[in-house]
Structure 1
Amino acid sequence: MTTIVDELMLRFGRHNDAKNAKHLLPHFERALSVPNKLNEKCAEAKADKHLSETGRTAKVRDVAPSFAPDVIKAKSAAALARRDIQRQRDALTPRVTDHKDVASAMLRLDLRQFLRGKPVAEIARLAEQNPSMLEAIFEGPAALSGLTDEVRGHILSQHLNKTAAPQMREIAEQEVLAEVLETAVAIASNALADAAGIRPQSIDSWLAEQAPAEAKAAAEALAAPRPLKSQSATPGPHPFDKILAEARAEVAAINLQ
Protein backbone atom coordinates (compact mmCIF):
# COMPACT_ATOMS: atom_id res chain seq x y z
CA MET A 1 0.00 0.00 0.00
CA THR A 2 1.41 3.38 -1.04
CA THR A 3 1.77 5.79 1.87
CA ILE A 4 1.64 9.56 1.68
CA VAL A 5 5.41 9.63 2.20
CA ASP A 6 5.88 7.29 -0.78
CA GLU A 7 3.62 9.50 -2.88
CA LEU A 8 5.54 12.63 -1.93
CA MET A 9 8.83 11.00 -2.84
CA LEU A 10 7.42 9.93 -6.20
CA ARG A 11 6.12 13.42 -6.93
CA PHE A 12 9.42 15.03 -6.03
CA GLY A 13 11.25 12.55 -8.24
CA ARG A 14 9.03 13.33 -11.23
CA HIS A 15 10.00 17.00 -11.04
CA ASN A 16 13.62 16.80 -9.97
CA ASP A 17 14.76 18.65 -13.10
CA ALA A 18 13.11 21.84 -11.91
CA LYS A 19 15.35 24.82 -11.19
CA ASN A 20 14.73 24.70 -7.44
CA ALA A 21 14.98 20.90 -7.03
CA LYS A 22 18.64 20.74 -6.00
CA HIS A 23 18.14 23.35 -3.29
CA LEU A 24 14.87 21.94 -1.92
CA LEU A 25 15.83 18.25 -1.92
CA PRO A 26 17.91 18.24 1.33
CA HIS A 27 15.15 20.09 3.17
CA PHE A 28 12.56 17.69 1.79
CA GLU A 29 14.53 14.63 2.87
CA ARG A 30 15.20 15.96 6.37
CA ALA A 31 11.55 16.94 6.88
CA LEU A 32 10.37 13.49 5.78
CA SER A 33 12.84 11.80 8.11
CA VAL A 34 11.40 13.46 11.24
CA PRO A 35 8.37 11.15 11.72
CA ASN A 36 10.48 8.02 11.15
CA LYS A 37 13.12 9.12 13.64
CA LEU A 38 10.48 9.98 16.21
CA ASN A 39 8.90 6.56 15.70
CA GLU A 40 12.30 4.97 16.30
CA LYS A 41 12.66 6.89 19.56
CA CYS A 42 9.16 5.81 20.58
CA ALA A 43 10.08 2.17 19.89
CA GLU A 44 13.28 2.50 21.92
CA ALA A 45 11.40 4.03 24.83
CA LYS A 46 8.73 1.34 24.68
CA ALA A 47 11.36 -1.39 24.69
CA ASP A 48 13.00 0.01 27.82
CA LYS A 49 11.45 -2.07 30.59
CA HIS A 50 12.97 0.16 33.25
CA LEU A 51 10.78 3.10 32.22
CA SER A 52 7.22 3.74 33.26
CA GLU A 53 4.68 4.96 30.71
CA THR A 54 5.30 8.49 31.94
CA GLY A 55 9.04 7.97 31.58
CA ARG A 56 8.69 6.71 28.04
CA THR A 57 6.62 9.74 27.08
CA ALA A 58 9.17 12.05 28.70
CA LYS A 59 12.06 10.37 26.84
CA VAL A 60 10.44 11.05 23.48
CA ARG A 61 9.44 14.54 24.53
CA ASP A 62 13.03 15.32 25.49
CA VAL A 63 14.37 14.44 22.05
CA ALA A 64 11.69 16.32 20.07
CA PRO A 65 13.42 19.75 20.24
CA SER A 66 16.46 18.38 18.39
CA PHE A 67 14.37 18.21 15.21
CA ALA A 68 13.16 21.81 15.39
CA PRO A 69 16.07 23.39 13.44
CA ASP A 70 15.57 21.15 10.40
CA VAL A 71 11.82 21.76 10.32
CA ILE A 72 12.28 25.53 10.57
CA LYS A 73 14.84 25.49 7.76
CA ALA A 74 12.60 23.36 5.56
CA LYS A 75 9.62 25.62 6.18
CA SER A 76 11.74 28.68 5.36
CA ALA A 77 13.02 27.04 2.17
CA ALA A 78 9.45 26.40 1.03
CA ALA A 79 8.41 30.00 1.76
CA LEU A 80 11.42 31.39 -0.10
CA ALA A 81 10.66 29.09 -3.03
CA ARG A 82 7.10 30.42 -3.16
CA ARG A 83 8.40 33.97 -3.11
CA ASP A 84 10.85 33.27 -5.92
CA ILE A 85 8.10 31.64 -8.00
CA GLN A 86 5.89 34.69 -7.56
CA ARG A 87 8.69 37.00 -8.62
CA GLN A 88 9.31 34.94 -11.73
CA ARG A 89 5.64 35.23 -12.56
CA ASP A 90 5.68 38.97 -11.84
CA ALA A 91 8.62 39.39 -14.22
CA LEU A 92 6.49 37.94 -17.03
CA THR A 93 3.50 40.16 -16.26
CA PRO A 94 2.81 42.84 -18.89
CA ARG A 95 4.08 46.14 -17.60
CA VAL A 96 4.52 49.73 -18.70
CA THR A 97 8.02 50.31 -20.02
CA ASP A 98 7.90 54.06 -20.71
CA HIS A 99 6.70 56.01 -17.69
CA LYS A 100 7.54 59.31 -19.36
CA ASP A 101 4.87 58.97 -22.04
CA VAL A 102 1.99 60.99 -20.58
CA ALA A 103 -0.25 60.47 -23.61
CA SER A 104 0.01 56.69 -23.29
CA ALA A 105 -0.65 56.92 -19.56
CA MET A 106 -3.86 58.85 -20.22
CA LEU A 107 -4.84 56.32 -22.89
CA ARG A 108 -4.46 53.48 -20.38
CA LEU A 109 -6.64 55.44 -17.98
CA ASP A 110 -9.34 55.67 -20.65
CA LEU A 111 -8.96 51.97 -21.49
CA ARG A 112 -9.58 50.97 -17.88
CA GLN A 113 -12.72 53.08 -17.81
CA PHE A 114 -13.80 51.47 -21.09
CA LEU A 115 -13.39 47.96 -19.64
CA ARG A 116 -15.50 48.47 -16.54
CA GLY A 117 -18.77 46.61 -16.61
CA LYS A 118 -17.86 44.48 -19.62
CA PRO A 119 -18.14 40.68 -19.40
CA VAL A 120 -14.97 38.91 -18.32
CA ALA A 121 -14.79 36.93 -21.55
CA GLU A 122 -14.86 40.13 -23.59
CA ILE A 123 -12.17 41.72 -21.42
CA ALA A 124 -9.95 38.66 -21.88
CA ARG A 125 -10.48 38.78 -25.66
CA LEU A 126 -9.69 42.49 -25.85
CA ALA A 127 -6.61 42.04 -23.69
CA GLU A 128 -5.22 39.38 -26.02
CA GLN A 129 -5.79 41.59 -29.06
CA ASN A 130 -4.31 44.81 -27.71
CA PRO A 131 -0.98 45.09 -25.84
CA SER A 132 -1.99 48.51 -24.53
CA MET A 133 -5.08 46.92 -23.01
CA LEU A 134 -2.91 44.41 -21.16
CA GLU A 135 -0.66 47.19 -19.87
CA ALA A 136 -3.73 49.10 -18.68
CA ILE A 137 -5.13 46.08 -16.85
CA PHE A 138 -1.88 45.28 -15.04
CA GLU A 139 -0.63 48.81 -14.39
CA GLY A 140 -2.55 49.16 -11.12
CA PRO A 141 -4.96 47.26 -8.87
CA ALA A 142 -7.42 44.91 -10.56
CA ALA A 143 -10.34 47.05 -9.35
CA LEU A 144 -9.24 49.86 -11.67
CA SER A 145 -10.42 47.75 -14.61
CA GLY A 146 -13.49 46.43 -12.82
CA LEU A 147 -11.89 43.03 -12.21
CA THR A 148 -11.24 40.89 -9.17
CA ASP A 149 -7.71 39.68 -8.47
CA GLU A 150 -8.83 36.13 -9.26
CA VAL A 151 -10.22 37.06 -12.68
CA ARG A 152 -7.19 39.15 -13.56
CA GLY A 153 -4.97 36.24 -12.51
CA HIS A 154 -6.89 34.00 -14.92
CA ILE A 155 -6.39 36.51 -17.74
CA LEU A 156 -2.68 36.63 -16.92
CA SER A 157 -2.37 32.85 -16.95
CA GLN A 158 -4.07 32.64 -20.35
CA HIS A 159 -1.78 35.33 -21.72
CA LEU A 160 1.42 33.78 -20.35
CA ASN A 161 0.50 30.28 -21.50
CA LYS A 162 0.42 31.69 -25.03
CA THR A 163 3.38 34.06 -24.90
CA ALA A 164 5.70 32.43 -22.36
CA ALA A 165 4.83 28.73 -22.40
CA PRO A 166 8.35 27.39 -21.60
CA GLN A 167 8.74 29.72 -18.63
CA MET A 168 5.27 28.84 -17.36
CA ARG A 169 6.06 25.12 -17.57
CA GLU A 170 9.20 25.68 -15.52
CA ILE A 171 7.26 27.72 -12.96
CA ALA A 172 4.66 24.93 -12.73
CA GLU A 173 7.44 22.41 -12.04
CA GLN A 174 8.80 24.60 -9.26
CA GLU A 175 5.32 25.03 -7.77
CA VAL A 176 4.90 21.25 -7.51
CA LEU A 177 8.15 20.92 -5.56
CA ALA A 178 7.26 23.81 -3.26
CA GLU A 179 3.89 22.17 -2.54
CA VAL A 180 5.51 18.78 -1.91
CA LEU A 181 7.99 20.35 0.53
CA GLU A 182 5.18 22.21 2.31
CA THR A 183 3.34 18.91 2.75
CA ALA A 184 6.47 17.22 4.12
CA VAL A 185 6.91 20.11 6.58
CA ALA A 186 3.27 19.77 7.70
CA ILE A 187 3.74 16.05 8.33
CA ALA A 188 6.93 16.69 10.30
CA SER A 189 5.30 19.49 12.28
CA ASN A 190 2.32 17.32 13.26
CA ALA A 191 4.64 14.51 14.33
CA LEU A 192 6.66 16.93 16.45
CA ALA A 193 3.56 18.42 18.03
CA ASP A 194 2.39 14.94 19.01
CA ALA A 195 5.82 14.00 20.40
CA ALA A 196 6.15 17.27 22.33
CA GLY A 197 2.64 17.03 23.74
CA ILE A 198 1.46 20.35 22.32
CA ARG A 199 -1.45 21.40 20.13
CA PRO A 200 -0.70 21.49 16.39
CA GLN A 201 -1.83 25.13 16.36
CA SER A 202 1.06 25.97 18.70
CA ILE A 203 3.79 24.27 16.69
CA ASP A 204 5.22 27.43 15.12
CA SER A 205 5.77 29.19 18.43
CA TRP A 206 7.15 25.96 19.93
CA LEU A 207 9.63 25.59 17.05
CA ALA A 208 10.80 29.17 17.52
CA GLU A 209 11.32 28.56 21.24
CA GLN A 210 13.35 25.41 20.63
CA ALA A 211 15.52 26.82 17.84
CA PRO A 212 15.59 30.62 18.20
CA ALA A 213 18.70 31.12 16.05
CA GLU A 214 17.19 29.24 13.11
CA ALA A 215 13.84 31.00 13.57
CA LYS A 216 15.56 34.40 13.51
CA ALA A 217 17.57 33.51 10.40
CA ALA A 218 14.41 32.30 8.65
CA ALA A 219 12.54 35.51 9.48
CA GLU A 220 15.43 37.65 8.26
CA ALA A 221 15.67 35.68 5.01
CA LEU A 222 11.99 36.22 4.29
CA ALA A 223 12.23 39.91 5.15
CA ALA A 224 15.27 40.55 2.98
CA PRO A 225 14.50 41.87 -0.52
CA ARG A 226 15.69 39.70 -3.38
CA PRO A 227 15.51 41.70 -6.65
CA LEU A 228 15.27 39.87 -9.94
CA LYS A 229 18.52 39.53 -11.84
CA SER A 230 17.04 41.41 -14.76
CA GLN A 231 16.25 44.44 -12.62
CA SER A 232 18.54 47.42 -12.78
CA ALA A 233 18.83 50.26 -10.32
CA THR A 234 15.79 50.98 -8.20
CA PRO A 235 13.55 53.39 -10.12
CA GLY A 236 12.88 56.82 -8.71
CA PRO A 237 9.46 58.12 -7.75
CA HIS A 238 6.79 58.12 -10.43
CA PRO A 239 6.67 61.61 -11.99
CA PHE A 240 2.97 61.67 -12.79
CA ASP A 241 1.37 62.50 -9.46
CA LYS A 242 -1.74 63.77 -11.18
CA ILE A 243 -2.29 60.47 -13.00
CA LEU A 244 -1.74 58.48 -9.82
CA ALA A 245 -4.20 60.70 -7.98
CA GLU A 246 -6.79 60.08 -10.69
CA ALA A 247 -6.17 56.34 -10.43
CA ARG A 248 -6.72 56.44 -6.68
CA ALA A 249 -9.91 58.38 -7.28
CA GLU A 250 -11.02 55.61 -9.66
CA VAL A 251 -10.57 52.98 -6.93
CA ALA A 252 -12.41 55.13 -4.40
CA ALA A 253 -15.30 55.58 -6.82
CA ILE A 254 -15.49 51.83 -7.44
CA ASN A 255 -15.56 51.11 -3.72
CA LEU A 256 -18.46 53.52 -3.27
CA GLN A 257 -20.58 51.81 -5.94
Structure 2
Amino acid sequence: MNRIETLKSRWRPEWSERSDLAKLNGSFQKSLHFIESLPTHRAKISGPGTLSPKGINETVRAAAAKDIVPDLRRASWEAEKATNSIKNQKLALAVPKPDKTDIAGAILRQEIRTMLRGLDHGDRVRLVMTDPEFLAASFEGPAALSGMTPEFRADLQRRMIEEKHGPAIEAMKETEEAIAVATAAIEMAVGTVRTECGFGDGPDFQFDRWMATASAAVEQEIAAEKAKMEKPATTEIVTRSSGKDLASDIDKMFAGLETYQFIDGKLTSVETQAAA
Protein backbone atom coordinates (compact mmCIF):
# COMPACT_ATOMS: atom_id res chain seq x y z
CA MET A 1 0.00 0.00 0.00
CA ASN A 2 1.58 3.30 -1.10
CA ARG A 3 1.30 6.57 0.77
CA ILE A 4 -1.75 7.80 -1.17
CA GLU A 5 -3.61 4.54 -0.64
CA THR A 6 -2.74 4.73 3.05
CA LEU A 7 -4.23 8.22 3.30
CA LYS A 8 -7.34 7.18 1.37
CA SER A 9 -7.85 4.21 3.70
CA ARG A 10 -7.74 6.51 6.72
CA TRP A 11 -10.50 8.77 5.36
CA ARG A 12 -13.78 7.22 6.45
CA PRO A 13 -16.52 7.07 3.78
CA GLU A 14 -19.07 8.60 6.16
CA TRP A 15 -16.94 11.74 6.46
CA SER A 16 -17.58 12.47 2.79
CA GLU A 17 -21.32 12.49 3.52
CA ARG A 18 -21.12 15.02 6.36
CA SER A 19 -22.03 18.54 5.33
CA ASP A 20 -19.90 20.04 8.10
CA LEU A 21 -16.84 18.30 6.64
CA ALA A 22 -17.55 19.13 3.00
CA LYS A 23 -14.83 21.77 2.67
CA LEU A 24 -12.33 19.67 4.59
CA ASN A 25 -13.14 16.73 2.33
CA GLY A 26 -12.54 18.95 -0.68
CA SER A 27 -9.16 19.98 0.73
CA PHE A 28 -8.26 16.35 1.33
CA GLN A 29 -9.20 15.27 -2.20
CA LYS A 30 -7.32 18.16 -3.81
CA SER A 31 -4.21 17.38 -1.82
CA LEU A 32 -4.30 13.76 -2.97
CA HIS A 33 -4.71 14.94 -6.56
CA PHE A 34 -1.69 17.25 -6.31
CA ILE A 35 0.46 14.46 -4.85
CA GLU A 36 -0.19 12.45 -8.00
CA SER A 37 -0.49 15.12 -10.67
CA LEU A 38 2.63 17.19 -10.03
CA PRO A 39 5.13 14.32 -10.50
CA THR A 40 3.23 13.38 -13.67
CA HIS A 41 3.50 16.95 -14.94
CA ARG A 42 7.24 17.07 -14.29
CA ALA A 43 7.76 13.75 -16.05
CA LYS A 44 5.79 14.99 -19.05
CA ILE A 45 7.82 18.16 -19.59
CA SER A 46 11.06 16.31 -18.93
CA GLY A 47 10.32 13.65 -21.54
CA PRO A 48 11.26 15.49 -24.75
CA GLY A 49 14.66 16.41 -23.35
CA THR A 50 14.50 19.96 -24.65
CA LEU A 51 14.71 21.64 -21.27
CA SER A 52 17.66 21.83 -18.91
CA PRO A 53 17.20 20.78 -15.26
CA LYS A 54 16.93 24.48 -14.40
CA GLY A 55 14.34 25.02 -17.14
CA ILE A 56 12.34 22.05 -15.91
CA ASN A 57 12.37 23.39 -12.35
CA GLU A 58 11.27 26.85 -13.48
CA THR A 59 8.43 25.41 -15.59
CA VAL A 60 7.17 23.18 -12.80
CA ARG A 61 7.42 26.02 -10.28
CA ALA A 62 5.40 28.31 -12.50
CA ALA A 63 2.63 25.72 -12.83
CA ALA A 64 2.66 24.93 -9.11
CA ALA A 65 2.62 28.61 -8.10
CA LYS A 66 -0.39 29.21 -10.33
CA ASP A 67 -2.50 26.10 -9.81
CA ILE A 68 -1.37 24.25 -6.68
CA VAL A 69 0.16 26.39 -3.93
CA PRO A 70 -2.86 28.74 -3.64
CA ASP A 71 -5.21 25.79 -3.25
CA LEU A 72 -2.93 24.19 -0.66
CA ARG A 73 -2.99 27.42 1.34
CA ARG A 74 -6.78 27.47 1.15
CA ALA A 75 -6.82 23.83 2.23
CA SER A 76 -4.66 24.58 5.26
CA TRP A 77 -6.99 27.47 6.14
CA GLU A 78 -10.00 25.13 6.06
CA ALA A 79 -8.17 22.74 8.40
CA GLU A 80 -7.28 25.64 10.68
CA LYS A 81 -10.90 26.82 10.83
CA ALA A 82 -12.10 23.30 11.59
CA THR A 83 -9.54 23.03 14.39
CA ASN A 84 -10.60 26.36 15.87
CA SER A 85 -14.24 25.31 15.71
CA ILE A 86 -13.48 22.18 17.72
CA LYS A 87 -11.51 24.25 20.22
CA ASN A 88 -14.48 26.54 20.77
CA GLN A 89 -16.82 23.56 21.12
CA LYS A 90 -14.57 22.15 23.84
CA LEU A 91 -14.55 25.44 25.70
CA ALA A 92 -18.34 25.56 25.53
CA LEU A 93 -18.46 22.40 27.63
CA ALA A 94 -16.78 24.13 30.57
CA VAL A 95 -18.53 25.21 33.74
CA PRO A 96 -19.40 28.91 33.21
CA LYS A 97 -18.02 31.45 35.62
CA PRO A 98 -20.67 33.18 37.76
CA ASP A 99 -21.60 36.80 37.14
CA LYS A 100 -19.18 38.87 39.23
CA THR A 101 -21.60 41.82 39.28
CA ASP A 102 -24.24 39.76 41.11
CA ILE A 103 -23.41 40.64 44.73
CA ALA A 104 -26.29 38.67 46.22
CA GLY A 105 -25.31 35.63 44.18
CA ALA A 106 -21.68 35.97 45.30
CA ILE A 107 -22.75 35.99 48.96
CA LEU A 108 -24.93 32.92 48.38
CA ARG A 109 -22.09 31.06 46.70
CA GLN A 110 -19.80 31.92 49.61
CA GLU A 111 -22.32 30.41 52.01
CA ILE A 112 -22.60 27.33 49.81
CA ARG A 113 -18.83 26.81 49.85
CA THR A 114 -18.83 27.06 53.63
CA MET A 115 -21.56 24.43 53.73
CA LEU A 116 -19.70 22.17 51.29
CA ARG A 117 -16.56 22.23 53.43
CA GLY A 118 -18.56 20.87 56.35
CA LEU A 119 -20.12 17.95 54.46
CA ASP A 120 -18.74 14.48 54.06
CA HIS A 121 -17.30 13.56 50.68
CA GLY A 122 -20.33 11.70 49.34
CA ASP A 123 -22.84 14.44 50.17
CA ARG A 124 -20.49 17.11 48.78
CA VAL A 125 -20.17 15.34 45.43
CA ARG A 126 -23.89 14.59 45.24
CA LEU A 127 -24.85 18.25 45.72
CA VAL A 128 -22.25 19.54 43.26
CA MET A 129 -23.34 17.10 40.57
CA THR A 130 -27.09 17.62 40.98
CA ASP A 131 -27.55 21.28 41.94
CA PRO A 132 -26.44 24.01 39.46
CA GLU A 133 -25.95 26.56 42.26
CA PHE A 134 -23.68 24.22 44.20
CA LEU A 135 -21.83 23.42 40.99
CA ALA A 136 -21.19 27.08 40.19
CA ALA A 137 -20.09 27.81 43.76
CA SER A 138 -17.70 24.87 43.92
CA PHE A 139 -15.89 25.90 40.73
CA GLU A 140 -15.39 29.49 41.87
CA GLY A 141 -12.13 30.28 43.63
CA PRO A 142 -9.62 27.76 44.98
CA ALA A 143 -10.88 24.18 45.22
CA ALA A 144 -10.06 24.03 48.94
CA LEU A 145 -12.80 26.59 49.66
CA SER A 146 -15.31 23.91 48.70
CA GLY A 147 -13.54 21.12 50.56
CA MET A 148 -11.92 19.70 47.43
CA THR A 149 -8.43 19.26 46.07
CA PRO A 150 -7.62 20.81 42.66
CA GLU A 151 -7.00 17.31 41.28
CA PHE A 152 -10.33 15.97 42.49
CA ARG A 153 -12.23 18.97 41.16
CA ALA A 154 -10.57 18.62 37.76
CA ASP A 155 -11.44 14.91 37.69
CA LEU A 156 -14.99 15.65 38.80
CA GLN A 157 -15.41 18.13 35.99
CA ARG A 158 -14.14 15.68 33.39
CA ARG A 159 -16.54 13.02 34.61
CA MET A 160 -19.44 15.48 34.52
CA ILE A 161 -18.56 16.58 30.99
CA GLU A 162 -18.30 12.99 29.80
CA GLU A 163 -21.63 12.06 31.38
CA LYS A 164 -23.47 15.11 30.08
CA HIS A 165 -21.80 15.54 26.69
CA GLY A 166 -20.67 12.02 25.78
CA PRO A 167 -22.11 11.99 22.23
CA ALA A 168 -20.80 15.49 21.53
CA ILE A 169 -17.32 14.51 22.70
CA GLU A 170 -17.32 11.44 20.46
CA ALA A 171 -18.41 13.56 17.49
CA MET A 172 -15.61 16.05 18.18
CA LYS A 173 -13.05 13.25 18.39
CA GLU A 174 -14.20 11.94 15.01
CA THR A 175 -13.97 15.41 13.50
CA GLU A 176 -10.46 15.81 14.91
CA GLU A 177 -9.51 12.52 13.30
CA ALA A 178 -10.76 13.81 9.94
CA ILE A 179 -8.76 17.01 10.44
CA ALA A 180 -5.64 14.98 11.21
CA VAL A 181 -6.01 12.91 8.03
CA ALA A 182 -6.67 15.99 5.88
CA THR A 183 -3.70 17.88 7.30
CA ALA A 184 -1.46 14.84 6.75
CA ALA A 185 -2.49 14.92 3.08
CA ILE A 186 -1.81 18.67 2.88
CA GLU A 187 1.63 18.22 4.42
CA MET A 188 2.41 15.40 1.99
CA ALA A 189 1.29 17.58 -0.92
CA VAL A 190 3.57 20.40 0.25
CA GLY A 191 6.44 17.92 0.42
CA THR A 192 5.64 16.84 -3.13
CA VAL A 193 5.71 20.46 -4.28
CA ARG A 194 9.09 20.96 -2.67
CA THR A 195 10.55 17.87 -4.36
CA GLU A 196 9.01 18.22 -7.82
CA CYS A 197 9.82 21.93 -8.01
CA GLY A 198 13.48 21.15 -7.51
CA PHE A 199 13.99 22.60 -4.04
CA GLY A 200 15.07 19.23 -2.70
CA ASP A 201 17.36 19.52 0.30
CA GLY A 202 18.12 23.19 -0.32
CA PRO A 203 17.83 25.86 2.38
CA ASP A 204 14.38 26.03 3.96
CA PHE A 205 14.21 29.80 3.60
CA GLN A 206 14.28 29.56 -0.20
CA PHE A 207 11.31 27.23 -0.31
CA ASP A 208 9.49 29.15 2.42
CA ARG A 209 9.95 32.43 0.59
CA TRP A 210 8.77 30.94 -2.69
CA MET A 211 5.68 29.42 -1.03
CA ALA A 212 4.88 32.72 0.67
CA THR A 213 5.11 34.59 -2.62
CA ALA A 214 2.98 32.02 -4.45
CA SER A 215 0.26 32.16 -1.78
CA ALA A 216 0.33 35.94 -1.20
CA ALA A 217 -3.00 36.57 -2.92
CA VAL A 218 -4.67 33.85 -0.87
CA GLU A 219 -3.23 35.32 2.31
CA GLN A 220 -5.07 38.54 1.47
CA GLU A 221 -8.30 36.57 0.98
CA ILE A 222 -7.83 34.87 4.33
CA ALA A 223 -7.04 38.17 6.06
CA ALA A 224 -10.26 39.64 4.67
CA GLU A 225 -12.24 36.62 5.82
CA LYS A 226 -10.75 36.82 9.29
CA ALA A 227 -11.68 40.50 9.46
CA LYS A 228 -15.31 39.64 8.71
CA MET A 229 -15.50 36.78 11.15
CA GLU A 230 -17.01 37.62 14.48
CA LYS A 231 -14.90 36.91 17.52
CA PRO A 232 -15.93 33.46 18.80
CA ALA A 233 -18.22 33.73 21.81
CA THR A 234 -16.76 31.09 24.09
CA THR A 235 -17.68 30.27 27.64
CA GLU A 236 -15.53 32.05 30.21
CA ILE A 237 -13.25 29.59 31.92
CA VAL A 238 -13.00 29.21 35.69
CA THR A 239 -9.43 29.58 36.98
CA ARG A 240 -8.35 27.12 39.67
CA SER A 241 -5.88 27.70 42.49
CA SER A 242 -3.23 25.74 40.56
CA GLY A 243 -3.27 28.50 37.95
CA LYS A 244 -4.34 26.19 35.11
CA ASP A 245 -7.58 26.99 33.37
CA LEU A 246 -10.42 24.61 32.72
CA ALA A 247 -9.59 24.39 29.02
CA SER A 248 -6.44 22.39 29.78
CA ASP A 249 -8.52 19.78 31.59
CA ILE A 250 -10.85 19.43 28.64
CA ASP A 251 -7.88 19.11 26.29
CA LYS A 252 -6.68 16.05 28.20
CA MET A 253 -9.57 14.17 26.63
CA PHE A 254 -8.40 15.21 23.19
CA ALA A 255 -4.61 15.01 23.55
CA GLY A 256 -2.36 13.64 20.83
CA LEU A 257 -3.79 15.36 17.77
CA GLU A 258 -1.36 17.01 15.38
CA THR A 259 -2.52 19.89 13.24
CA TYR A 260 -0.75 21.93 10.63
CA GLN A 261 -0.83 25.52 9.54
CA PHE A 262 1.19 27.80 7.27
CA ILE A 263 3.69 30.01 9.09
CA ASP A 264 5.56 32.37 6.79
CA GLY A 265 4.62 30.24 3.83
CA LYS A 266 5.59 26.95 5.45
CA LEU A 267 3.16 24.28 6.56
CA THR A 268 4.17 23.70 10.17
CA SER A 269 3.19 20.85 12.47
CA VAL A 270 1.61 21.94 15.75
CA GLU A 271 1.07 19.26 18.39
CA THR A 272 -1.76 19.85 20.84
CA GLN A 273 -0.51 18.71 24.25
CA ALA A 274 -2.52 18.38 27.41
CA ALA A 275 -1.31 20.45 30.33
CA ALA A 276 0.84 18.57 32.78
Using structure 2 for the length normalisation, give the TM-score. 0.62
Match of 1:7 in 2: 6
1:102 and 2:106 matched: no
1:1-257 equivalences under 5 Å are 1=1, 3-16=2-15, 17-18=17-18, 20-66=20-66, 67-96=68-97, 98-105=99-106, 131=132, 135=136, 152=154, 156-196=157-197, 197=199, 199=203, 205-222=209-226, 224-226=228-230
Higher mean alpha-carbon deviation, 71-80 vs 195-204, is at 195-204
Aligned-pair distance for 1:40? Answer: 0.7
Task: String of CA shifts for 1:129-149, please: whole Å, max 9, x gaps.
Answer: 77557546766899xx9869x
SS in 1 for 2:11: helix
Distance 1:85 1:52, change over 3 A: same
Higher mean alpha-carbon deviation, 31-40 vs 211-220, is at 211-220
Q: Which amino acid aligns with 2:3?
A: I
Distance 1:61 1:18, change over 3 A: same
CA RMSD of aligned residues (A): 4.4
Q: Is the 8 A contact 1:190 1:200 kept in 2?
A: no
Distance 1:248 1:98, change over 3 A: closer
Task: String of CA shifts for 1:3-34, please: whole Å, max 9, x gaps.
Answer: 33223223322441545222211111112211
Q: Which amino acid aligns with 2:193?
A: L
Distance 2:141 2:44 in 1: 59
Aligned-pair distance for 1:187? Answer: 0.9
Q: Name the structure where strand makes up a greater proportion of residues.
A: 2
Q: Which amino acid aligns with 1:68?
A: V
Distance 2:241 2:150 in 1: 16
Distance 1:163 1:209, change over 3 A: same
Aligned-pair distance for 1:214? Answer: 0.8
**Structure 1 segments unaligned to the other structure (5+ residues):** 113-123, 235-246, 252-257
Task: String of CA shifts for 1:138-184, please: whole Å, max 9, x gaps.
Answer: 66899xx9869xx95x7654332210112112212211111112111
SS in 2 for 1:20: helix
% identical aligned pairs: 25
Distance 1:108 1:194, change over 3 A: farther
Using structure 1 for the length normalisation, give the TM-score. 0.66
Distance 1:138 1:18 in 2: 36
Aligned-pair distance for 1:210? Answer: 1.1
Count of matched residue positions in the alignment of Structure 1 and Structure 2: 225
Distance 1:167 1:58 in 2: 49
Higher mean alpha-carbon deviation, 130-139 vs 68-77, is at 130-139
SS in 2 for 1:164: helix
Aligned-pair distance for 1:73? Answer: 0.3
Distance 1:83 1:49, change over 3 A: same
Distance 1:221 1:43, change over 3 A: same
Distance 1:103 1:51 in 2: 81
Distance 1:140 1:195 in 2: 57
Distance 1:49 1:225, change over 3 A: closer
